[in-house]
């Protein structure tokens, strides 16, 4: 789920997000902006003030396994990170900072950076959309690589990882991705979850998002490559997800129900809280050692 912090991609504002999920009767909702934590404070303040829907802090990271970028062959694999604990929230913000330091068209996060132990504790990861590593491998008919990446992420996050299903009736390749995801889940016994990859609140906002995408992509408003017309990119609930699944001829109602239950479970285990703003003065507890080193040197105190 993306907010306005996903620049030139989403048109969801925090107040409208709250109104929509409140109407759906949800108990929690997560934001996962593209390479950004910019909405965390507004998201936290607004939802905490309302007090009846739990905010979950996340990010959809741009990842790469390449150390040297090539302008014509840059790879940006999506990966969703959700904060389960306060430590996980700190780690997501740390990873986002590291990604900005390696900015190349997008804030880029190297897989070998995620590998560092202190950067993945308290994080629950999802395999993300059709632009993820696993989805790209499936679309390339490379199931061996898809399996390898699924095992890599599952081990990397100590089992706190789920394979992501999406149902987009207007996007034909999604059927192939979902089929591959189910195959991996069956063979490896990894959990599945369902998302809408939301970029606008409801059907009325679809045209606005199309305009935003046209500007960002430098396209004409009627360009067929603008996938912003996907109605399934709205904020969804269980009923909408089941409807979209039927429209894609998914044909596995039990799987859809399980994926919805798993999404609810993840919502329950993600309980990170954003700390209150405060002045933090560092404590200098090495004074004695400093004096000893200082007087032991050749410097003279005048």
What pLDDT band is residue 43 in, cutting at 50, 70 and 90?
Answer: very high
Cα–Cα distance, 66 to 167 (Å, whole number): 30
Residue 298, pLDDT > 80, answer no
pLDDT of residue 72: 45
What confidence tier does 135 reach under pLDDT thresholds 50, 70, 90? very high
Percent of the chain with pLDDT over 70: 93
pLDDT digits (tens, 9 = 90+) for 73-107: 467 899 999 999 999 999 999 999 999 988 888 89
pLDDT for 273 beyond 90: yes
The pairing of strands 108-110 and 161-165 is unpaired
Cβ-based neighbours of 163, under 8 Å, separated by 6 or more: 126, 127, 134, 150, 181, 184, 185, 190, 191, 192, 193
Interatomic CA distance for residues 150 and 133, integer angstroms: 9
Instruction: Categorize the per-residue pLDDT at 296 as very low, low, confident or very high, splitting at 50, 70 and 90.
Output: low
Rounded to an integer, the average pLDDT of 211-221 is: 84
Q: Note the pTM of the prediction, 2 decimals.
A: 0.88
Helix (H, G, I), strand (E, B) or coil at 23: helix
Per-residue pLDDT, 19? 96
Q: Write phi, then psi, for 152 (nearest 5 degrees).
A: -60, -50
Over residues 61-70, mean pLDDT: 70
Q: What percent of the chain clears pLDDT 90, i.e. is strictly above it?
A: 66
> Is pLDDT larger for residue 214 or for residue 182?
182
pLDDT(227) > 70 = no
Higher pLDDT among residues 52 and 8, named by residue: 52
Q: Is residue 125 within 8 Å of 79, Cβ to Cβ?
A: yes
Average pLDDT, the chain: 89
Kindly list the domain boundaries of the chain, sorted by start residue. 14-295
CATH placement of domain 14-295: 3.20.20.140
- Which one is predicted more confidently, 130 or 111? 130
> Which of 35-49, 212-226, 235-249, 267-281 comes out lowest in average pLDDT?
212-226
Mean pLDDT lowest among 176-185, 203-212, 251-260, 276-285: 276-285
């Amino acid at each position: 789920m993306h907010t306005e912090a996903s620049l030139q991609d989403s048109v969801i504002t925090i107040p409208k997000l709250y109104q929509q999920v409140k109407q759906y009767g949800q108990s929690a909702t997560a934001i996962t902006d593209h390479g950004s934590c910019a909405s965390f404070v507004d998201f936290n303040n607004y939802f905490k003030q309302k007090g009846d829907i739990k905010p979950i802090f996340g990010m959809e990271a741009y990842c790469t396994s390449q150390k040297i970028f090539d302008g014509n062959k840059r790879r940006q694999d999506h990966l969703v990170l959700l904060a389960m604990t306060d430590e996980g929230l700190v780690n997501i913000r740390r990873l986002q900072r590291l990604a900005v330091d390696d900015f190349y068209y997008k804030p880029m996060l190297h897989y070998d950076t995620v590998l560092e132990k202190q950067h993945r504790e308290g994080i629950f990861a999802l395999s993300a959309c059709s632009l993820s590593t696993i989805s790209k491998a499936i679309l390339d008919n490379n199931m061996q690589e898809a399996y390898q990446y699924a095992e890599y992420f599952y081990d990397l996050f100590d089992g706190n990882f789920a394979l992501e299903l999406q149902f987009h009736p207007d996007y034909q390749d999604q059927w192939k991705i979902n089929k591959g995801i189910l195959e991996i889940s069956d063979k490896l016994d990894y959990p599945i979850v369902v998302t809408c990859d939301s970029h606008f609140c409801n059907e009325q906002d679809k045209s606005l998002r199309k305009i935003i995408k046209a500007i960002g992509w430098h396209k004409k408003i009627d360009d067929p490559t603008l996938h912003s017309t996907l109605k399934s990119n709205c904020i969804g609930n269980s009923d909408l997800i089941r409807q979209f699944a039927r429209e894609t001829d998914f044909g596995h109602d039990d799987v859809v129900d399980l994926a919805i239950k798993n999404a609810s479970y993840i919502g329950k285990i993600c309980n990170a809280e954003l700390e209150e703003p405060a002045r933090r003065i560092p404590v200098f507890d090495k004074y004695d050692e400093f004096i000893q080193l200082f007087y032991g040197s050749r410097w003279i105190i005048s």
